[in-house]
Amino acid sequence: MKQARSISRTAIGLGAAALLLVSASTTVQAELPRIPLFSFSSPSGSYLAARTARAARDMAAASSYYRSVLRSDPSNPDLVELTFLVTLGSGAVEESFPLAERVIAFDKSHRIARLALAARAIKNNQFAQARAQLQSSSLGPIADLTATLLTAWSWQGANNYKAAVATIDKLQGPDWYALFKDLHAGLILDLANQRNDALKRLDRVRAIDPNSLRNIDAYARMLSRAGRDDDAVKVYSSFSRALARHPLVEAGLDELKTKKKLAPLVTNAAGGASEALYGLGAALSQQGGEDLGMLYLQLAIYLNPDHPLALVALGDLFETLKKYESAIDTYERVPESSPLKRKALIQRALNLDVLDKKDEAREQLQTLVKEKADDIEAQFALANVLRAGKKFAEAGDVYSKVLELLGEPKREHWSLYYFRGICYERSKQWALAEKDFQEALKLFPDQPQVLNYLGYSWVDQGVNLDKALDMIRKAVSLRPKDGYIIDSLGWAYYRLGRYEEAAAELERAVELTPNDPTINDHLGDVYWKTDRKLEAHFQWSHALEMKPEPEDLTRIQQKLKEGLLDEPQSPRASEQQNPNKG
């Protein structure tokens, strides 16, 4: 089967060229339905609803239900803890504090409760109280680092930078601690006007991880205020070569051109604590710690409501959890003044598209493109939304604009030629489509999706059959668990009259991808050809239940009435909008 996976999420932290490489096969799926907020007649009903909401990551609903249950059993420690965690995770941070106090009444060293109360104390400039909360929390690699960084920022807030830096330097732990330790020691030293020592710390961080946006931004800003604008430009420019066109870097370079000194990354203790929680929360969210990452990010935003990267990271986390409405709400909170606002609006539009609000998504992206015609990311997102909405001719035109903006083709641009080729093929411009698929294979010779699509198209047309079969076999060897590509191999065998081989491959494709109408339809055709008429009718009926494309629907209904004609026309391969990611 021709397989064109729609791009619905754009990695906010990536430049356009890198984006095209890493997200070419990324899709999103429909969000779990929100659970309606209504009162159950019994605590047990509310408890079951709370568990269901929590499993669906609907933290607002879970918090409401757990609170309802808590009123009937206020001294239940497990219930108090769960209510606290989901309330904090929902972003109702202020409302979580009384619950945190109840948690530590029965679990004095509860890490998250102590952390939340310490964050409140830092925001209220109660720095000694913050340290007391952190000192009472239980130990662990993440907890130790978190408590150390926030304790250091509480010392900075108390105008004792020496104690702050000493607190950080005393901490022993894994090698990766060094990135956080030196970054925050550098930021604290910078606020204390110990700029030389601060620069040494941040230079050390940059040497360890030269591809960290936050480290680069902090270092360049510090260089600027040290009167070293040329060095700051070099730092930003070096990063741009690795990750092109990031808006924070572009904004820094633009500001340096005005000869103004760049503002520090952090200006006070609350901002520093927010930065620590953001860095740890974003890292946790990307490495399988979504639940803990969400709590850290919510606290980071509580301490600094306008932290654009924390908001973007939380929006991205909601996308990962398939909570697209929550992601939209979060992206809307990115400040208008932030260089990340356009990226947040692009991401908002892509989430609207996932929620089937396609007109609104398209209009927002078109507005962004009109405002800034050379914004590759906005153009790319618009093209993907148009393609997903089957506006293939329009999408092809936009992909062409993106390719024009990118200039000389590079390996990572293969996906643009692939997607534009799909648009040409679907708008019946095969000569142009074939050229684009071949160009994609020049850039990325063994790309399985392109091998599959071009090979399938040739088989469907009855041309270049030997070469097409080799290409599809190669694609299968590269993606042996991909039901769509295995369907292509089975269909190739079918078109070549090798029905037994076709049946074997298509049965495997149906096993891997059981709910696709085209694959089931193909298997029905093969069963008919191998005189398995009853099984053929079953597969066609099954395909009919899966809501095939309108033109496929008519053809399948005809086959159920009359059987397969001696010379069947090949079913058109539908573009897959929501296969699994990857």
Q: What SS3 string covers 464-502? A: CHHHHHHHHHHHHHHCCCCHHHHHHHHHHHHHCCCHHHH
* Structure tokens, 480: 């042996």
Do 253 and 354 lie in one domain? The reply is no
- 3-state DSSP assignment of residue 143: helix
Amino acid at 85: L
> What secondary structure does DSSP assign to 175-217, as a single string?
TTHHHHHHHHHHHHHHHTT-HHHHHHHHHHHHHH-TT-HHHHH
Do 26 and 49 lie in one domain? The reply is no
Do 435 and 377 lie in one domain? The reply is yes
Do 24 and 78 lie in one domain? The reply is no
Give the model's pLDDT for residue 242. Answer: 62
Do 131 and 54 lie in one domain? The reply is yes
Give the model's pLDDT for residue 530. Answer: 94
At residue 579's C-alpha, the angle toward residues 319 and 446, to 5°, is 110
Domain stops at, among 215, 248, 282: 282
Do 380 and 525 lie in one domain? The reply is no
Distance CA 354, CA 2 (A): 21
Residues 335-348: what's their mean pLDDT? 95
The region of weakest confidence among 96-100, 245-249, 414-418, 483-487 is 245-249
Give the model's pLDDT for residue 198. Answer: 95
Q: How many CB atoms lie within 10 A of CB 466?
A: 9
- Is 228 within the bounds of a domain? yes
Provide the strand spans (E) within 92-182: none
CB 375 within 8 A of CB 359: no
Band of the pLDDT at 567, cuts 50, 70, 90? low
Distance CA 36, CA 53 (A): 10
The region of weakest confidence among 41-50, 126-135, 197-206 is 41-50
- 3-state DSSP assignment of residue 128: helix
- Is 314 within the bounds of a domain? no
Residues 148-164: what's their mean pLDDT? 97
Burial per residue of 92-127, b for 16 or more beta-carbon CB atoms within 10 angstroms, e otherwise = bbeebbebbebbbeeeeebbbbbbbbbbbbbbeebb
Q: Domain total for the chain?
A: 3
Give the model's pLDDT for residue 2. Answer: 63
Give the model's pLDDT for residue 5. Answer: 31
Band of the pLDDT at 566, cuts 50, 70, 90? low
Q: What is the CB-side half-sphere exposure of residue 17 using CA atoms within 13 A?
A: 15
- Is 177 within the bounds of a domain? yes
Give the model's pLDDT for residue 19. Answer: 34
* Three-state helix/strand/coil letters over 261-310: CCCCCCCCHHHHHHHHHHHHHHHHHHCCCHHHHHHHHHHHHHHCCCCHHH
- Is 309 within the bounds of a domain? no
Domain stops at, among 282, 307, 328: 282
Do 194 and 57 lie in one domain? The reply is yes
Q: Which H or E element spans position 416?
A: helix 414-426
- Is 109 within the bounds of a domain? yes
Q: Which of 43-47, 170-174, 268-272 has the highest mean pLDDT?
A: 268-272
Tell me: pLDDT of 463 over 60. yes
> What secondary structure does DSSP assign to 20-71, as a single string?
HHHTTT----PPPPPPP----SSHHHHHHHHHHHHHTT-HHHHHHHHHHHHH
Tell me the pLDDT tens digit for each residue of 68-109.
888 888 889 999 999 999 999 999 999 999 999 999 999 999
Q: Percentage of residues in the chain with pLDDT exceeding 90?
A: 74
Band of the pLDDT at 288, cuts 50, 70, 90? confident
Give the model's pLDDT for residue 38. Answer: 44
Tell me: pLDDT of 573 over 50. no
Do 99 and 209 lie in one domain? The reply is yes
Give the model's pLDDT for residue 582. Answer: 29
Give the model's pLDDT for residue 286. Answer: 87
Do 277 and 394 lie in one domain? The reply is no
- Domain of 14: which CATH number? 1.25.40.10
Do 401 and 353 lie in one domain? The reply is yes
Domain span holding position 428 = 1-31+339-445
- Is 8 within the bounds of a domain? yes
Whats the size of the chain, residue-wise? 582
Tell me: pLDDT of 333 over 60. yes
Give the model's pLDDT for residue 4. Answer: 42
- Mean pLDDT, the chain, rounded, equals 87
Give the model's pLDDT for residue 243. Answer: 64
Give the model's pLDDT for residue 323. Answer: 93
Domain stops at, among 260, 282, 304: 282
CA distances from 552 to 4, 322, 522, 575 (A): 18, 30, 11, 13
Give the model's pLDDT for residue 64. Answer: 85
- Is 317 within the bounds of a domain? no
| Nearest one of 449, 409, 515, 561 to 3, comparing CA atoms | 449
Band of the pLDDT at 474, cuts 50, 70, 90? very high
CA distances from 394 to 6, 82, 104, 427 (A): 15, 49, 59, 10
Residues 386-406: what's their mean pLDDT? 95
Do 419 and 501 lie in one domain? The reply is no
Contact partners, residue 529, CB within 8 Å, separation at least 6: 494, 499, 502, 564
Give the model's pLDDT for residue 206. Answer: 87
Give the model's pLDDT for residue 349. Answer: 97
| Nearest one of 92, 149, 157 to 121, comparing CA atoms | 157
Distance CA 117, CA 114 (A): 5
The region of weakest confidence among 8-22, 401-415, 511-525 is 8-22
CB 301 within 8 A of CB 91: yes
Contact partners, residue 241, CB within 8 Å, separation at least 6: none
- Is 137 within the bounds of a domain? yes
Do 440 and 550 lie in one domain? The reply is no
Give the model's pLDDT for residue 7. Answer: 29
Give the model's pLDDT for residue 126. Answer: 97
Residue 166 gets the label, from left (phi > 0), alpha (psi -120 to 50) or beta, of alpha
